[in-house]
Amino acid sequence: MNITTLTLTAALVLSVVGCSKTDTPGTTPNPSSAAPAAAAPAAQAGSSYDLVASQGKGFTVGALMSAQPVYVLFDPQCPHCGRLWQASLPLLDKVKFVWIPISFNPTKSVPQGAALLSAANPVDAMTAHEQSLLAGTGGMSASADVTEEMKQAITKNTQLLNQLGVESVPFLLGKHRKTGAIVSFNGAMDTAALSNLLGLE
């Protein structure tokens, strides 16, 4: 893994913040709860990527034929995840993203995560949801009647986040387009920083 890539990318982002399980929905998350991108041993990063690829259940958007998916673990109630979603939209013609819902707030996050997983058009559903969330209106309305299969999927996604030792979202794992190195990032970033992290420049 190219540790320099991760370190330089971390420096490009002026403010790295995310949502953690200790944040209360509807409030501004505590920036100190977010972990900046960290350089992990190559074996650990590679195994994390493979673990998420094999065990995470998400919805796929973007360049569906891409051989290098980028995985994003997110909570539907996290505004920082909404900002990362918006930053990713201009890159959908170049990148295959797999958005994997987890739940820090089962009352709202599980129904919304289930609705997003089963949406006929995930881009439209997620865009509308995140616009509502960032506007302070709570995101999409979703039925609390969630199938056991969906509940289990989101529970397993949350356990996967814990297994990775990650305490806040959004958490991104991908491969650098030019070097093939596994890259990871914890927090929101703008489109330029995301493009740089993934080696699209």
* Residue 199 vs residues 79, 131, 167, 178: alpha-carbon distances, Å: 25, 27, 26, 6
Topology of the domain covering 58-176: Glutaredoxin (3.40.30)
pLDDT digits (tens, 9 = 90+) for 31-70: 333 333 443 444 456 689 999 999 999 999 999 999 889 9
pLDDT digits (tens, 9 = 90+) for 167-191: 999 999 999 999 999 999 999 999 9
Sequence-ordered list of residues with C-beta below 8 angstroms from that of 111, at least 6 positions apart, any chain: 142, 143, 144, 146
Prediction pTM value: 0.82
pLDDT digits (tens, 9 = 90+) for 126-157: 999 999 999 999 999 999 999 999 999 999 99
